[in-house]
Amino acid sequence: MWQNLIDTLEKLGEVYDKLATLGEKKRSALVTINMEALAKVLDEEQLLAAKIQRLEKKRGELLTNLSKADITVNEATKAKDFYRAAPSLAIEKRLIQLHERLGRNVDRTLKIRDNNQILAQCALDAVQSQLNKIGGATVEPTYGSKGGDIVTHKKNFDFKA
The CATH number assigned to the domain holding 70 equals 1.20.58.300
Task: Report in angstroms the alpha-carbon separations of 18 from 1, 34, 43, 76, 140.
Answer: 26, 20, 13, 31, 45
109-154 tens-digit pLDDT: 999 999 999 988 887 877 777 776 776 666 666 666 676 666 665 5
Q: Judge whether residue 100 has pLDDT over 70.
A: yes
The answer to whether position 159 is within a domain reads no
The answer to whether position 102 is within a domain reads yes
For the purposes of burial, counting CB atoms within 10 Å of the CB of 25, is it exposed (0-12), middle (13-18) or buried (19 or more)? middle
CA distance 116 to 101: 23
Q: Taking a C-beta distance cutoff of 8 angstroms, is the pair 151, 137 a contact? A: yes
The answer to whether position 57 is within a domain reads yes
42-55 tens-digit pLDDT: 999 999 999 999 99
Helix (H/G/I), strand (E/B), else coil: 118: helix
H or E stretch covering 138: strand 137-143
The answer to whether position 158 is within a domain reads no
The answer to whether position 123 is within a domain reads yes
CA distance 82 to 23: 32
The answer to whether position 161 is within a domain reads no
The answer to whether position 160 is within a domain reads no
CA distance 44 to 46: 5
How many structural domains comprise the chain?
Answer: 1
What is the number of residues in the chain? 161
The answer to whether position 22 is within a domain reads yes
By C-alpha distance, which of 5, 3, 6, 11 is closest to 64? Answer: 5
Q: Which domain holds residue 17?
A: 2-153
Q: What is the mean pLDDT of residues 18-39?
A: 89
Which of the pair, 65 or 25, is modelled with greater confidence?
Answer: 25
